[in-house]
Amino acid sequence: MPTDIAVTPGRLDRKAVLVTGGAHGIGAAIADRFVAEGADVLVADVAAGQEAGGRAVRCDVSVPEDVAAAVAEAEARFGGLDIMVNNAGLGSARDLVDLDDEEWARVIGVNLTGTFHGIRHAAPAIGRRGGGAILNMSSLAGGRALPGMGAYSAAKAGVEALTRTAAVELRGAGIRVNAIVPGLIGTAAAHGGAAVLARGLGVDDVGDYLDRRQGRWGRPDEVAEVAVHLVEDATAFTSGLLYAIDNGGSAS
Ligand SMILES: NC(=O)c1ccc[n+]([C@@H]2O[C@H](COP(=O)([O-])OP(=O)(O)OC[C@H]3O[C@@H](n4cnc5c(N)ncnc54)[C@H](O)[C@@H]3O)[C@@H](O)[C@H]2O)c1
């Protein structure tokens, strides 16, 4: 097991950042790490007000007005917006023939439409600063069949398509757009959905998949490390990238 990641502060000095779904899990790790790197961070989450405290606003990313308001709040607090992290997401646990329209709409609405809202409302704000970065959150489900997770899989495939399109459309505005494609990261949500994940991955137990493909659970702070890399000025020529974080799981 690797030791904790050493932070060299300042890679995001004074960058104004909005992180959706930053109250828990990977989004919280990204928000914490960005603050440690010198960024001003506003979290936009349906769970805001509980864990995330004063740095968070309540926002349902599936509601366009909520996302527009969160972007406006970040601009008002920080004087602008440099970086948008579209991380909010949730899973599904039903085969396609058993999936009703309501669950389909909820999963697509948060994961895919929420990312679209984030791009649509953040890009003009980032453009007003002369450029910056957008980072989306896909999943290993975006590029493969995971039985029982069809809506989630379709949503994440859509996030990858949006990432490519936005990277090209926004290049002229100086905005680069990348996506992280995590394997299994040990958040409470992932542990809670382990049975569904195991079925989707075709194993009896998630531990079998970890043993064979990933070695171990990934950690949220390991995703946050890559998130810093993909939004910092040093990678200004990197756009349209789908960056897997899975210890070689998708390569094997
Ligand atoms: N943990 C993993 O193994 C894993 C793997 C691949 C991809 N991902 C993706 O990473 C992201 C974060 O996952 P996590 O494991 O940290 O999950 P999590 O459940 O711990 O955190 C998700 C956060 O999003 C928030 N959220 C949910 N619906 C929202 C909405 N409508 N509007 C705003 N916020 C909302 C939740 O309140 C929570 O704070 C998700 O997009 C997920 O699909 C996670």
* CB 92 less than 6 A from any atom of ligand 1: no
Q: Is 152 tagged catalytic?
A: yes
Beta bridge partners, 149, equal 94
Structural domains of the chain, ranges and CATH numbers in brackets: 16-183+219-237 (3.40.50.720)
* CB 118 less than 6 A from any atom of ligand 1: no
Longest dimension (CA), the chain: 51
Q: For residue range 133-158, what is the model confidence (pLDDT) as tens digits?
A: 999 999 999 999 999 999 999 999 99
Instruction: Kindly report the average pLDDT of the chain as a whole number.
Output: 95
Q: Which ligand 1 atom is the nearest neighbour of the CA of 110?
A: 31
Say how many Å lie between the CA of residue 123 and the centre of ligand 1: 22
Q: For residue range 205-228, what is the model confidence (pLDDT) as tens digits?
A: 999 999 999 999 999 999 999 999
Mean pLDDT of 169-184: 98
Atom 36 of ligand 1, nearest CA residue = 21
Q: Which ligand 1 atom is the nearest neighbour of the CA of 220?
A: 16
Q: Which ligand 1 atom is the nearest neighbour of the CA of 137?
A: 41
- The bridge status of strand 16-20 relative to strand 83-86 is parallel
Q: For residue range 80-120, what is the model confidence (pLDDT) as tens digits?
A: 999 999 999 999 899 999 999 999 999 999 999 999 999 99
Kindly provide the b/e burial profile for residues 188-205, where b requires at least 16 CB atoms within 10 angstroms of the residue's own CB: eebeebeebbbbbbebee
Q: Which ligand 1 atom is the nearest neighbour of the CA of 182?
A: 6
Mean pLDDT of 35-39: 97
* CB 25 less than 6 A from any atom of ligand 1: yes
Atom 14 of ligand 1, nearest CA residue = 25
Say how many Å lie between the CA of residue 175 and the centre of ligand 1: 24
Mean pLDDT of 165-189: 98
Dist CA 144 CA 171 (whole Å)? 29
Say how many Å lie between the CA of residue 90 and the centre of ligand 1: 5
Say how many Å lie between the CA of residue 172 and the centre of ligand 1: 30
Tokens of 239: 């756009």
* CB 26 less than 6 A from any atom of ligand 1: yes
- DSSP letters, 97-153, are GG--HHHHHHHIIIIIIHHHHHHHHHHHHHHHTT-EEEEEE--GGGGS--TTBHHHH
Neighbours of 147 (CB within 10 A): 13
Tokens of 145: 């069949």
pTM for the model: 0.97
The DSSP 8-state label assigned to residue 185 in this structure reads B
More confident residue, 168 or 8: 168
The DSSP 8-state label assigned to residue 72 in this structure reads H
53 — pLDDT class (breaks 50, 70, 90): low
Q: Are 74 and 16 in contact (CB under 8 A)?
A: yes
| Contacts of 45 by beta carbon, 8 Å cutoff, 6+ apart | 20, 21, 22, 23, 24, 27, 52, 56, 58, 59, 88
Tokens of 81: 């917006």
Helical packing angle, 114-128 and 64-78, nearest 10°: 30
6 — pLDDT class (breaks 50, 70, 90): confident
Mean pLDDT of 177-204: 95
More confident residue, 51 or 75: 75
Mean pLDDT of 171-194: 97
Q: Which of 34, 152, 209, 217 is catalytic?
A: 152
50 — pLDDT class (breaks 50, 70, 90): low
Q: Are 20 and 85 in contact (CB under 8 A)?
A: yes
1 — pLDDT class (breaks 50, 70, 90): low
* CB 56 less than 6 A from any atom of ligand 1: no
